[in-house]
Amino acid sequence: MNKRIITLTAAVALTFAACSTNPFTGKSNLSLVSNSEIFPTAFAQYDQFLKENKVITGTKDAAMVTAVGQKIKAAAEKYLASIGQSEYLNGYAWEYHLVQSNEVNAWCMPGGKIVVYSGILPITKDESGLATVLGHEVAHALLNHGAQRMSTDMLAQLGAQGVAVATSGKTESTQQIFQQAYGLGAQYGAILPFGRSQESEADKVGLTLMAIAGYNPDNALAFWQRMSAKAGGSATPEFLSTHPSDATRISNITKEIPTAKANATKLGVKY
């Protein structure tokens, strides 16, 4: 068996051996690294970030970030309990902080460590807008998107090694062309679309979380419309971005709102 076949066989074996079903989507997802491997590093990086940036405490806005975050967390717990999978949250250590920054953004590390930048608050405007953002970020953590991205990168590197083996008998210039072609193919053909898929998935699950938490998911549309207006048409073209375009996102969310409400209604939430 030559090196090329060994490399490809290893990639296939890893793919099949490291798939698990996510309770929020029912889909089988690739994960070559476990939460027990990722979480400690993520938690340490989060703590370091907080030390190096200005964390806002003792204000109405900071209290709102914590309060809404706790409601979204409780919604996740309620959903998982309803399907008998409360143990799914083992190892998660939820934490929410408001950080001083003009950047219009929020992010979540694996395991539930979340930062909201103060620059996004003029766009969230109220609890419902903030619930849209935090529902989305919590969804990323619950969907294990960090582990999935790491796994995709690992497979991409393994694939690149396969290309190198397959072209080992070619001239150096030919090998470089193959490597460049593979790099572009992996970036625009797999990695970026996978990122957009994750964002849409987090939007969908985030809507259900905010709905279960008692926030009307209709308000998510208003938030994303404000975000679109803020961007003012300067966003990166969708095919080169890890995020769906504003128009795509708003269209998808509109379609998913009835499902989010239905999921919440099953758990006793009414609108």
- Check pLDDT > 70 for residue 185: no
CB 136 within 8 A of CB 224: no
pLDDT class for 87, splitting at 50, 70, 90? very high
The structure's pTM equals 0.76
pLDDT for the residue numbered 270: 83
d(CA 174, CA 74): 56
Q: Is 77 a catalytic residue?
A: no
Looking at residue 220, its pLDDT comes to 96
pLDDT at 24: 83
Q: What pLDDT does 89 receive?
A: 94
Can you give the pLDDT at residue 249? 87
Residues 6+ apart with CB under 8 A from 82: 266, 267
Using 50, 70 and 90 to split pLDDT, how confident is the model at 173? low
20 DSSP 8-state letter:
E
Closest CA to 167 of 197, 218, 159: 159
> CA–CA separation, 223 vs 217, rounded Å?
10
Res 22 pLDDT > 90: no
Q: Is 49 helix (H, G, I), strand (E, B) or coil?
A: helix
pLDDT at 187 over 60: no
pLDDT in tens, 88-126: 999 999 999 999 999 999 988 889 999 999 999 999 999
Give the CA angle between residues 15, 20, 24 to the nearest 5°: 135
Q: What angle do CA 72, 85, 107 make, to 5 degrees?
A: 35
8 Å CB contact between 30 and 151: yes
Which tokens belong to 156?
């991409």
What are the sequence ranges of the domains in the chain?
3-266
127, 137, 199, 256: which one is catalytic?
137
> From its phi and psi, is residue 84 left (phi > 0), alpha (psi between -120 and 50) or beta?
left
The proportion of the chain whose per-residue pLDDT surpasses 90, expressed as a percent, equals 49
| List of residues 6+ apart from 63 with CB closer than 8 A | none
Amino acid at 113: K
Query: What is the per-residue pLDDT across 222-231, written as a single tens digit (0 to 9) for each?
Result: 999 998 888 7
Chain-centroid distance of CA 142 in Å reads 9
The dihedral through the CA atoms of 137, 141, 146, 148 has a sign that is negative
Q: What pLDDT sits at residue 74?
A: 97
Mean pLDDT confidence for 233-245? 57
pLDDT band at 198 (very low <50, low <70, confident <90, very high): confident
pLDDT at residue 35, as a whole number: 81
Query: pLDDT (tens digit, 9 = 90+) per residue, 138-161?
Result: 998 898 877 667 666 666 665 555
Answer for the pair 214, 261: CB distance below 8 angstroms, yes or no: no
